[in-house]
């Protein structure tokens, strides 16, 4: 297989398995998505989805969020982990959204990355999933799978993102990044992985890991 044939095989296989790509984090608008993605760092989507209803019942917009103290936010979100950093980030970014962006989440990568506790991956998720602007957020699943499929050298997530954007058509990025995550969770886990269950790895991937 040529590199382009491998890429097409990935696209076709994922489209067959996951024609629909619901966003895993429960949210109602760009702000609640931003907060949910921030909370998901080193946690699971399922755990975040159990906590955000409790938080959003009290504050589902930046104006209500800054009425809470950092300590109050931290107490609610503690089960997702890293609550001291995340609570300060949520409080701080809510103030910035009010002061600089009229209380709205900006559809701009540079502005998003300026927000406290919002890194490149979080900003990319918001751009793609909240605003449908092409981005290719690379999480641990995508980084692992792109390496296993021999589509990147696996040195770091920055290189993996560059390779993904170079190999896959831009109009597919937003859907593909979710499809790869779904595939990784189901067929190509970090632990307990079996190559016989992993059709993409078995067909195009590295023979030794």
Count of structural domains within the chain: 2
Structural domain contains residue 209: no
Q: To the nearest whole number, what is the mean pLDDT of the chain?
A: 95
Each residue's pLDDT tens digit, 51-80: 999 999 999 999 999 999 999 999 999 999
Contact predicate 145/165, CB 8 Å: no
> Can 121 be counted among the known catalytic residues?
yes
Q: Which domain-ending residue is among 108, 131, 154?
A: 131
Each residue's pLDDT tens digit, 184-204: 999 999 888 888 889 999 999
Task: Tell me the whole-structure pTM to 2 decimals.
Answer: 0.93
Give SS3 for 39.
helix
Residue tagged 């190559």 (tokens): 195
Q: What's the CATH code of the domain at 40?
A: 1.10.340.30
Q: What's the CATH code of the domain at 145?
A: 1.10.1670.10
The one catalytic residue among 139, 162, 165, 175: 139
Each residue's pLDDT tens digit, 100-130: 999 999 999 999 999 999 999 999 999 999 9
Same domain for 125 and 57: yes
Q: Which domain-ending residue is among 131, 165, 182?
A: 131
The one catalytic residue among 6, 74, 121, 163: 121
Same domain for 140 and 53: no
Same domain for 116 and 47: yes
Contact predicate 103/79, CB 8 Å: no
Give the DSSP letter of residue 196.
Answer: G
Same domain for 63 and 122: yes
Q: What is the pLDDT of residue 149?
A: 94
Same domain for 157 and 117: no
> Can 104 be counted among the known catalytic residues?
no
- Chain centre distance of CA 187: 19
Residue-number span of the structural domain to which 166 is assigned: 3-21+136-204
Same domain for 118 and 67: yes
């Amino acid at each position: 297989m040529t590199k382009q044939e491998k890429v097409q095989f990935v696209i076709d296989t994922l489209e067959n398995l996951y024609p629909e790509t619901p966003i895993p984090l429960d949210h109602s608008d760009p702000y609640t998505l931003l907060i949910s993605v921030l909370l998901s760092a080193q946690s699971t989507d399922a755990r975040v989805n159990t906590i955000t209803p409790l938080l959003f019942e009290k504050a589902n917009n930046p104006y209500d969020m800054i009425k809470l103290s950092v300590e109050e936010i931290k107490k609610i979100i503690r089960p997702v982990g890293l609550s001291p950093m995340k609570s300060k980030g949520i409080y701080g970014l809510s103030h910035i959204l009010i002061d600089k962006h009229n209380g709205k989440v900006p559809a701009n990568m540079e502005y998003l990355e300026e927000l406290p506790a919002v890194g490149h991956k979080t900003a990319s998720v918001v751009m793609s999933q909240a605003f449908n602007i092409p981005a290719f957020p690379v999480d641990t699943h995508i980084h692992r799978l792109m390496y296993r499929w021999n589509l990147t050298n696996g040195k770091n997530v920055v290189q993996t993102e560059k390779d993904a954007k170079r190999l896959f058509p831009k109009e597919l990025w937003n859907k593909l990044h979710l499809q790869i995550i779904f595939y990784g969770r189901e067929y190509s886990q970090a632990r307990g992985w079996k190559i016989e269950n992993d059709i993409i790895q078995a067909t195009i991937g590295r023979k030794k890991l």
